[in-house]
Amino acid sequence: MVTEHGSPHDLLAEVRSATERLTATVERLQDDRLAEPSLLPGWVRAHVLTHIARNADGVRNLLLAVRSGVAVRMYASPTARAADIDAGSSRPPDVIRADAVESSRRFLLDAECMPADRWHTEIPFSSGGSDPPRVIAGIRPLEMRLREVEFHHVDLNTGYSFADTPDSLLEHLMADTVRRLGRDGFSVRPMPEKDPDRWIVESAGESLTVQGAARDVLAWLSGRSDGAGLAIPRSLPAPPSLG
């Protein structure tokens, strides 16, 4: 199965590589640095690492849904998810690091052991509401985990940025981010190939041209930058929150 998102095999390979890069960063983090601010407002690095760990567990719940065909929530509830992150961020630094690394490895192991024919199925994607939508098993869970690993690696604020993201993954994340923003009427598209660093942004009936590398555009679109490094004719509109 290959879609515009790529194949499950390709996505899993990207998740594996992104996880290896993240693990290398986490294992280098000194204890005192976990209490330092991340790029996410109100969160220190310990919060981000705990979130990464609980997300791995949550997406593994979706893999259980892939195997069983039964709706399984990622988290017990949004409140429980937030409480787990707050409580987990106060643990000893070595526990936080080990949790982030080992939960990520468990997710990869579970995904790599998935029977190939199960990736072709659809699963109910439930956050607790009735009549949950159905999503492609071999795409949604892997894409969700890939975004979490790469974006939150940047959020750790340890020097890793989208400048370190491999080109193939950067292209995928850009396309995915643009597609998700498009659901809220926020359009971003590149100019013709002869000028690949120019982008047309349309929002609230207005259009402007932004100039900058894809990495800087992605940082802005995903809320990791205020647009620094981009050349614009006037102030940038605020992209919708990606959640």
Six-digit token string for 136 = 């492609």
CATH fold of 8-160 reads: Four Helix Bundle (Hemerythrin (Met), subunit A) (1.20.120)
Output phi, psi for 55, to 5 deg. Answer: -65, -40
For 134, how many CA atoms within 13 A lie in the half-sphere containing its CB?
Answer: 7
pLDDT tens across the length of the chain (243 residues): 444 456 889 999 999 999 999 999 999 999 999 999 999 999 999 999 999 999 999 999 989 888 887 778 887 777 888 889 999 999 999 999 999 999 999 999 999 999 988 888 887 776 555 666 777 877 889 999 999 999 999 999 999 999 999 999 999 999 999 999 988 889 998 886 667 788 989 988 888 889 999 999 999 999 999 888 888 877 888 888 886
Q: If one looks up domain 166-243 in CATH, what number appears?
A: 3.30.1050
Report how far residue 145's alpha carbon sits from residue 41's, in angstroms, rounded to the nearest whole number: 21
- Helix H or strand E encompassing 94: helix 93-112
Q: Do domains 8-160 and 166-243 have the same CATH topology?
A: no
The answer for residues whose C-beta is within 8 angstroms of residue 41's C-beta and 6 or more apart is none
**Residues 101, 107, 109, 112, CA torsion sign:** negative
Q: What is the pTM of this model?
A: 0.91
Report how far residue 77's alpha carbon sits from residue 40's, in angstroms, rounded to the nearest whole number: 22
Output phi, psi for 237, to 5 deg. Answer: -75, 155
**pLDDT, tens digit (0-9, with 9 covering 90-100), for 106-165:** 999 999 999 988 888 887 776 555 666 777 877 889 999 999 999 999 999 999 999 999
Torsion angle (degrees, nearest 10) of CA 213, 49, 111, 218? -10
Domain boundaries, the chain: 8-160, 166-243
